[in-house]
């Protein structure tokens, strides 16, 4: 990716850590955290009161120094986003993009929609471009497009949800509850009349 210049951002999306004249010194964890939460707040208009629904409050953002392969990871049920500390300490330019990507996963999960890399997912990611912030060119939309899940299963104890493309032949038990209680809770199909409705609507979108 070419080094972005200040002029490529819309002024309201600028942050001092994205200034290329800042120099390539490592950024400490507290600065990274306030940087990330700053963008989390700025991104809220993309994820609140949307036609699909709202992101629930209270997403935790953490920097993980052991992450190597990925830039970010969304833990949907725990409402936690992990970001690659080593990578972003050296180069924070893709941090807003990565955060937006992971927030899109959590937002879809909160809306009871398939949180995977579906058409709907990339439709939201397209909105990120309006900020003028740097985009990860390696995330290619067509290569990773996943079909929308048709069925949702939910744990009757903790309400953790699974999105699957085919009806399950075997019941799945909830690992979270088993870890906590030692009891097996089996996921039940969740009745989602409006899932079909939303899928009809999303067909109009062509990325
Ligand atoms: Zn993803
Ligand atoms: Zn559970």
Number of domains in the chain: 2
Q: For residue 162, how far is its CA from the centre of ligand 2 (angstroms)? A: 11
162 assigned to some structural domain: yes
pLDDT (tens digit per residue) in 96-132: 999 999 999 999 999 999 999 999 999 999 999 999 9
Kindly indicate the confidence band of residue 196, based on its pLDDT and cuts at 50, 70 and 90: very low
Ligand nearest to the CA of 102: 1
**pLDDT at residue 25 above 80?**
no
How far does the centroid of ligand 1 lie from the alpha carbon of residue 101, in Å?
6
Contact 154, 173 (CB under 8 A): no
Domain span at residue 87 reads 6-131
> pLDDT category, 143, cuts 50, 70, 90?
low
Residue 145 placed within a domain? no
How many angstroms separate the alpha carbon of residue 161 from the centre of ligand 1?
17
- Domain end, chosen from 102, 131, 160, is at 131
Distance CA 205, CA 40 (A): 26
In degrees and rounded to multiples of 5, residue 186 shows phi and psi of: -95, 135
**pTM reported for the whole predicted model:** 0.83
């Amino acid at each position: 990716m070419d080094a972005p210049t200040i002029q490529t951002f819309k002024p309201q999306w600028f942050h001092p850590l994205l200034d290329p004249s800042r120099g390539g010194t490592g950024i400490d964890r507290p600065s990274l955290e306030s940087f990330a939460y700053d963008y989390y707040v700025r991104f809220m208009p993309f994820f609140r009161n949307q036609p699909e629904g709202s992101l629930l409050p209270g997403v935790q953002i953490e920097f993980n120094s052991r992450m190597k392969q990925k830039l970010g990871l969304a833990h949907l049920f725990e409402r936690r986003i992990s970001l690659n500390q080593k990578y972003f300490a050296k180069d924070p330019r893709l941090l807003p993009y990565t955060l937006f990507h992971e927030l899109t996963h959590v937002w879809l999960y909160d809306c009871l929609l398939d949180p995977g890399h579906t058409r709907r997912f990339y439709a939201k990611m397209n909105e990120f471009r309006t900020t003028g912030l740097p985009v990860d060119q390696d995330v290619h939309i067509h290569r990773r497009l996943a079909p929308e899940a048709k069925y949702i299963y939910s744990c009757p104890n903790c309400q953790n949800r699974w999105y699957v493309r085919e009806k399950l032949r075997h019941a799945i038990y909830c690992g979270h509850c088993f870890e906590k209680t030692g009891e097996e809770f089996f996921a039940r199909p969740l009745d989602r009349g409006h899932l079909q409705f939303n899928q009809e609507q999303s067909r109009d979108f062509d990325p």
